[in-house]
C-alpha cells in the first residue's frame, strides 16, 4: 500500500482590481436607496479582487484554486488560520478537508469572503486530486453530460454576443424602487432596445443584484412581458426566504426567477429548493464552498426540478462542475480582461469555446496554466505577506 500524499505548503496570491465595465453605469443594488451612492458601485464598494491559491504536496504535485472576489480578506483567513488545518493532510480526502474548513469557521459565519477562501482551497484540492489520478476534474465528477454546453454572455456588448454565437445577454438592471417611475421606464426602455438589437430569438436576462423589493419586481416583470425576458436574477436581498416566498405566490409571468449568487453551502440552498421558490440557482462555485458543496446542492436541485447555472461559470474551476452536472443547461461567459492590469489572460486552459458553446478539456485537474507574470503585475501588496 502506497504512502498517502501530504500537503506541505499553502500559498496565497491576492489580486488588485483595476476596473469593471459596470462601474460606468448605475446598477440597482442594496445601496441604491441612498442617492449619493446610486450613480455607480465604486462609490461604496470594496476593491478586493480575485485570489489564487497554490497548494504544494510532497509528491511534487500542485493544485491551483481560485475565487473571483475577496482577495486580501481571503488571504488573511487562509494564512492566519486555514492553512495550518491543511498542512500534513492527504489532499485527496477532499470531503473531509472541506468539512474541517467549514466546521472550523462556524463561529465566524457561513457567508461572504470567509466562504470564498474555503472555496478556493477546495478547488485547489480537486485540482490536485485530478492530477494525481491523471484525470480531468470533469471526468472525476462522472464526465460531461453533454459534449458541450451553450453559453450566454454577461455585460453590455450585444454585438459581441451576436458575433460569438452566444445564446443571449445578461445586463445589469440600472434602477430600483428608489428611482421611481422614471427609473422603471428607463429599465423597460433598455430591455426594449436590447430586444431590438438581439432580435427575437436570443435570450435577455436581468441582473438585479439584490436591489428590488417584491412589489417592484412584480411590476417590472409585467412591464417586460412584451420583450421575452428569460429570467430576472436576484431581485431581493440574499437570504430573504420569506420575500421569495411572497414573490413566488404572486408570480404570473413566464419569466423565470433566479437567485443564489450570494448564498453559500447546501444549507443556504435548501430552503429555496425545498419549496421551489426559484427556477434557476446561481451559486458561484468559487464562493459557495467549492465543488464539494456544489455537488450536494446539485442533488437538491435535481430533486426539485431547478436548474443550476452558476455565477461566473466560464472559469475552468466552475465549468468542470457545470459540464458534469445534470441540472446545468448553460454556462455564463464573462470577459474579465478589464479587471486586471495587462493585456494577457491571468490563466489559460484546454477548454474550447466555439460558436458560443464550451467543451471540456482533458488535461489532468482543471487543465489550468497560470500566467505568473500577470499574477506578479496584479498582486495586491497592501499587506506584507502577499507572495510574489
- Pick the closest to residue 41 from 224, 207, 169 (CA basis): 207
Q: Is 320 part of the annotated catalytic residue set?
A: no
The ranges assigned to domains in the chain are 7-134+374-378, 139-371
pTM for the structure as a whole: 0.96
Single out the catalytic residue among 107, 116, 262, 311.
311
- Using the Cα atoms of residue 75, residue 81, residue 83 and residue 85 in order, give the sign of their dihedral: negative
Three cell numbers at 366?
482543471
Fold classified for 7-134+374-378: Enolase-like; domain 1 (3.30.390)
Provide CB contacts within 8 A for 23, sequence distance 6+.
40, 41, 42
Q: Which residues pair with 333 in a beta bridge?
A: 153
Just give the CATH number of 139-371.
Answer: 3.20.20.120
The tens place of each residue's pLDDT in the chain, 388 residues long, gives: 578 999 999 999 999 987 666 677 899 999 999 999 999 988 998 889 999 999 999 999 999 999 999 999 999 999 999 999 999 999 999 999 999 999 999 998 888 999 999 999 999 999 999 999 999 999 999 999 999 999 999 999 999 999 999 999 999 999 999 999 999 999 999 999 999 999 999 999 999 999 999 999 999 999 999 999 999 999 999 999 999 999 999 999 999 999 999 999 999 999 999 999 999 999 999 999 999 999 999 999 999 999 999 999 999 999 999 999 999 999 999 864 567 888 889 999 999 999 999 999 999 999 999 999 999 999 999 887 555 4
Give the span between the Cα atoms of 362 and 31, in whole angstroms.
Answer: 43
Amino acid at each position: 500500500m502506497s504512502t498517502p500524499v501530504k500537503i506541505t505548503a499553502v500559498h496565497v496570491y491576492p489580486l488588485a482590481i483595476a476596473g469593471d465595465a459596470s462601474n460606468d453605469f448605475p446598477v440597482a443594488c442594496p445601496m441604491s436607496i441612498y442617492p449619493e451612492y446610486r450613480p455607480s458601485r465604486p462609490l461604496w464598494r470594496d476593491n478586493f479582487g480575485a485570489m489564487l491559491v497554490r497548494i504544494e504536496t510532497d509528491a511534487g504535485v500542485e493544485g491551483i484554486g481560485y475565487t473571483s472576489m475577496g482577495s486580501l480578506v481571503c488571504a488573511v483567513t487562509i494564512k492566519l488560520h486555514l492553512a495550518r488545518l491543511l498542512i500534513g493532510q492527504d489532499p485527496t480526502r477532499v470531503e473531509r478537508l472541506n468539512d474541517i474548513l467549514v466546521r472550523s469557521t462556524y463561529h465566524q459565519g457561513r457567508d461572504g469572503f470567509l466562504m470564498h477562501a474555503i472555496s478556493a482551497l477546495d478547488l485547489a484540492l480537486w485540482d490536485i486530486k485530478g492530477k494525481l489520478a491523471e484525470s480531468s476534474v470533469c471526468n472525476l465528477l462522472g464526465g460531461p453530460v453533454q459534449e458541450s454546453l451553450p453559453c450566454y454572455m454577461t455585460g453590455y456588448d450585444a454585438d459581441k454576443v451576436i458575433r460569438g454565437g452566444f445564446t443571449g445577454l445578461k445586463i445589469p438592471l440600472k434602477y430600483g424602487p428608489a428611482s421611481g417611475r422614471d427609473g422603471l421606464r428607463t429599465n423597460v426602455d433598455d430591455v426594449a432596445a436590447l430586444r431590438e438589437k438581439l432580435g427575437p430569438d436570443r435570450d435577455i436576462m436581468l441582473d438585479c443584484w439584490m436591489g428590488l423589493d417584491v412589489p417592484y419586481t412584480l411590476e417590472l416583470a409585467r412591464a417586460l412581458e412584451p420583450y421575452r425576458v428569460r429570467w430576472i436574477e436576484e431581485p431581493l436581498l440574499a437570504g430573504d426566504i420569506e420575500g421569495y416566498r411572497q414573490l413566488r405566490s404572486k408570480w404570473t409571468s413566464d419569466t423565470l426567477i433566479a437567485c443564489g449568487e450570494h448564498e453559500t453551502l447546501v444549507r443556504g440552498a435548501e430552503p429555496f429548493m425545498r419549496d421551489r421558490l426559484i427556477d434557476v440557482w446561481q451559486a458561484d462555485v468559487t464562493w459557495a464552498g467549492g465543488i464539494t458543496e456544489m455537488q450536494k446542492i446539485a442533488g437538491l436541485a435535481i430533486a426539485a426540478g431547478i436548474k443550476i447555472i452558476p455565477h461566473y461559470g466560464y472559469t475552468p474551476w466552475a465549468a468542470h462542475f457545470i459540464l458534469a452536472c445534470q441540472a446545468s443547461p448553460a454556462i455564463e461567459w464573462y470577459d474579465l480582461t478589464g479587471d486586471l492590469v495587462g493585456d494577457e489572460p491571468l490563466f489559460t486552459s484546454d477548454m474550447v469555446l466555439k460558436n458560443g458553446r464550451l467543451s471540456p478539456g482533458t488535461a489532468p485537474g482543471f487543465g489550468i496554466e497560470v500566467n505568473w507574470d500577470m499574477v506578479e503585475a496584479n498582486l495586491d501588496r497592501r499587506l506584507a505577506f502577499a507572495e510574489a
